[in-house]
Amino acid sequence: MQRILLLLLGSLALTGCLETANDNAAGTPAAAPAMTAPAQEINAVKWYNTAAPLTLAGLRGKVVVVEHWATWCPPCRASIPHLIELNKRFKDQGVVIIGLTDEDDAAAKVGAFVREMKMDYPVGTGSTSGSDYGVQGIPTAFVIARDGTIAWQGHPMKGLDAAIESALR
Protein backbone atom coordinates (compact mmCIF):
# COMPACT_ATOMS: atom_id res chain seq x y z
CA MET A 1 0.00 0.00 0.00
CA GLN A 2 2.81 2.41 0.89
CA ARG A 3 4.50 1.57 -2.39
CA ILE A 4 1.38 2.48 -4.40
CA LEU A 5 0.99 5.73 -2.50
CA LEU A 6 4.63 6.64 -3.15
CA LEU A 7 4.22 5.87 -6.86
CA LEU A 8 1.12 8.05 -7.06
CA LEU A 9 2.81 10.94 -5.25
CA GLY A 10 5.89 10.60 -7.44
CA SER A 11 3.88 10.71 -10.64
CA LEU A 12 2.03 13.81 -9.41
CA ALA A 13 5.36 15.49 -8.72
CA LEU A 14 6.63 14.66 -12.19
CA THR A 15 3.52 15.60 -14.16
CA GLY A 16 2.31 18.73 -12.40
CA CYS A 17 -0.34 19.76 -9.95
CA LEU A 18 -3.61 19.17 -11.73
CA GLU A 19 -1.93 19.84 -15.09
CA THR A 20 -4.42 19.34 -17.89
CA ALA A 21 -3.98 16.40 -20.21
CA ASN A 22 -4.12 18.73 -23.22
CA ASP A 23 -1.16 20.87 -22.07
CA ASN A 24 1.43 20.80 -24.83
CA ALA A 25 5.12 21.62 -25.19
CA ALA A 26 4.27 24.94 -26.88
CA GLY A 27 2.72 26.01 -23.59
CA THR A 28 -0.93 26.55 -24.49
CA PRO A 29 -3.41 24.73 -22.22
CA ALA A 30 -6.64 23.54 -23.84
CA ALA A 31 -9.21 25.67 -21.99
CA ALA A 32 -7.14 28.84 -21.66
CA PRO A 33 -8.31 32.34 -22.61
CA ALA A 34 -7.75 33.40 -26.21
CA MET A 35 -4.40 34.92 -27.10
CA THR A 36 -4.47 38.67 -27.58
CA ALA A 37 -7.54 38.88 -25.34
CA PRO A 38 -7.31 41.70 -22.80
CA ALA A 39 -5.87 40.36 -19.57
CA GLN A 40 -8.13 40.34 -16.53
CA GLU A 41 -6.98 42.57 -13.67
CA ILE A 42 -5.09 40.70 -10.97
CA ASN A 43 -5.77 40.78 -7.24
CA ALA A 44 -4.36 39.59 -3.95
CA VAL A 45 -5.21 40.07 -0.29
CA LYS A 46 -1.58 40.35 0.84
CA TRP A 47 1.64 41.17 -1.05
CA TYR A 48 5.32 40.35 -0.54
CA ASN A 49 8.36 41.96 -2.18
CA THR A 50 6.51 45.10 -3.23
CA ALA A 51 5.77 48.34 -1.39
CA ALA A 52 2.21 48.56 -2.69
CA PRO A 53 -0.36 46.23 -4.25
CA LEU A 54 0.25 45.66 -7.97
CA THR A 55 -2.26 46.01 -10.78
CA LEU A 56 -1.93 45.37 -14.48
CA ALA A 57 -3.31 48.86 -15.11
CA GLY A 58 -0.42 50.27 -13.09
CA LEU A 59 2.07 48.13 -15.02
CA ARG A 60 0.75 49.03 -18.50
CA GLY A 61 3.70 49.51 -20.85
CA LYS A 62 5.70 46.72 -19.22
CA VAL A 63 5.78 43.03 -20.06
CA VAL A 64 4.23 41.22 -17.11
CA VAL A 65 4.48 37.53 -16.24
CA VAL A 66 1.64 36.35 -13.98
CA GLU A 67 2.39 32.92 -12.57
CA HIS A 68 -0.23 30.96 -10.63
CA TRP A 69 1.26 28.55 -8.08
CA ALA A 70 0.91 27.09 -4.57
CA THR A 71 3.27 26.18 -1.73
CA TRP A 72 2.06 22.55 -1.70
CA CYS A 73 2.70 21.96 -5.44
CA PRO A 74 6.03 20.18 -6.22
CA PRO A 75 6.20 21.39 -9.87
CA CYS A 76 5.53 24.93 -8.64
CA ARG A 77 8.44 24.63 -6.23
CA ALA A 78 10.62 23.30 -9.06
CA SER A 79 9.80 26.27 -11.30
CA ILE A 80 10.63 28.96 -8.70
CA PRO A 81 14.42 28.96 -9.27
CA HIS A 82 13.74 29.40 -13.00
CA LEU A 83 11.43 32.36 -12.29
CA ILE A 84 14.07 33.90 -10.02
CA GLU A 85 16.62 33.56 -12.82
CA LEU A 86 14.19 35.09 -15.36
CA ASN A 87 13.52 37.97 -12.98
CA LYS A 88 17.24 38.71 -12.71
CA ARG A 89 17.69 38.40 -16.47
CA PHE A 90 14.74 40.53 -17.61
CA LYS A 91 13.82 43.01 -14.85
CA ASP A 92 16.08 45.74 -16.27
CA GLN A 93 14.30 45.34 -19.62
CA GLY A 94 10.87 46.27 -18.26
CA VAL A 95 9.64 42.79 -17.34
CA VAL A 96 7.75 42.29 -14.08
CA ILE A 97 7.25 38.76 -12.75
CA ILE A 98 4.38 38.27 -10.31
CA GLY A 99 3.52 35.08 -8.45
CA LEU A 100 -0.09 34.64 -7.33
CA THR A 101 -1.47 31.98 -5.02
CA ASP A 102 -5.01 31.49 -3.80
CA GLU A 103 -3.63 30.37 -0.45
CA ASP A 104 -4.66 32.42 2.57
CA ASP A 105 -1.65 33.80 4.41
CA ALA A 106 -3.28 34.38 7.80
CA ALA A 107 -0.60 32.25 9.50
CA ALA A 108 2.19 33.80 7.35
CA LYS A 109 2.92 30.36 5.85
CA VAL A 110 3.28 31.83 2.35
CA GLY A 111 5.53 34.62 3.65
CA ALA A 112 7.84 32.06 5.24
CA PHE A 113 7.83 30.07 2.01
CA VAL A 114 8.69 33.19 -0.05
CA ARG A 115 11.68 33.85 2.22
CA GLU A 116 12.76 30.18 2.28
CA MET A 117 12.68 29.94 -1.52
CA LYS A 118 14.36 33.37 -1.89
CA MET A 119 11.60 34.55 -4.21
CA ASP A 120 12.76 38.05 -5.14
CA TYR A 121 9.75 39.01 -7.29
CA PRO A 122 6.34 40.26 -6.09
CA VAL A 123 4.08 37.56 -4.64
CA GLY A 124 0.38 37.96 -3.89
CA THR A 125 -1.62 35.69 -1.58
CA GLY A 126 -5.35 35.09 -1.27
CA SER A 127 -5.77 35.79 -4.98
CA THR A 128 -8.88 34.88 -6.96
CA SER A 129 -7.16 35.69 -10.25
CA GLY A 130 -6.56 32.03 -11.09
CA SER A 131 -10.27 31.43 -11.62
CA ASP A 132 -10.59 34.73 -13.52
CA TYR A 133 -7.90 33.47 -15.90
CA GLY A 134 -9.41 30.00 -16.23
CA VAL A 135 -6.42 28.28 -14.66
CA GLN A 136 -7.05 24.53 -14.54
CA GLY A 137 -3.66 23.38 -13.29
CA ILE A 138 -0.61 24.83 -11.64
CA PRO A 139 1.93 26.08 -12.22
CA THR A 140 0.50 28.17 -15.05
CA ALA A 141 2.06 31.38 -16.32
CA PHE A 142 0.67 34.15 -18.52
CA VAL A 143 2.75 36.71 -20.39
CA ILE A 144 0.92 40.01 -20.61
CA ALA A 145 2.15 42.22 -23.45
CA ARG A 146 2.83 45.94 -23.03
CA ASP A 147 -0.65 46.72 -24.41
CA GLY A 148 -2.35 44.62 -21.69
CA THR A 149 -3.24 41.62 -23.85
CA ILE A 150 -2.37 37.99 -23.19
CA ALA A 151 0.61 37.12 -25.38
CA TRP A 152 1.32 33.59 -24.09
CA GLN A 153 0.18 31.08 -21.49
CA GLY A 154 1.45 27.74 -20.29
CA HIS A 155 3.79 25.94 -17.95
CA PRO A 156 6.60 28.25 -16.79
CA MET A 157 9.23 25.64 -17.65
CA LYS A 158 7.93 25.13 -21.22
CA GLY A 159 8.59 28.16 -23.39
CA LEU A 160 8.30 31.08 -20.97
CA ASP A 161 11.79 32.40 -21.78
CA ALA A 162 11.03 32.62 -25.50
CA ALA A 163 7.60 34.14 -24.81
CA ILE A 164 9.16 36.92 -22.74
CA GLU A 165 11.77 37.59 -25.44
CA SER A 166 9.04 37.71 -28.08
CA ALA A 167 6.91 40.13 -26.02
CA LEU A 168 9.92 42.42 -25.61
CA ARG A 169 10.37 42.76 -29.41
Query: How confident is the prediction along the chain (169 residues), in pLDDT tens digits per residue?
Result: 454 433 434 444 444 565 433 343 444 433 455 567 899 999 999 999 999 999 999 999 999 999 999 999 999 999 999 999 999 999 999 999 999 999 998 778 999 999 999 999 999 999 999 999 999 999 999 999 999 999 999 999 999 999 999 999 9
Q: How far apart are CA 156 and CA 73, in angstroms?
A: 14
> E strands within 49-164?
63-68, 95-100, 123-125, 140-144, 150-154
Beta bridge partners of 124: 47, 100
pTM: 0.82
Peptide bond into 139 cis (omega under 30): yes
16-168 has CATH 3.40.30.10 classification: yes
Give yes or no for a contact between 83 and 97, defined as CB atoms under 8 angstroms apart: yes
**% pLDDT > 90, the chain:** 76
**Confidence at residue 98, expressed as pLDDT on a 0 to 100 scale:** 98
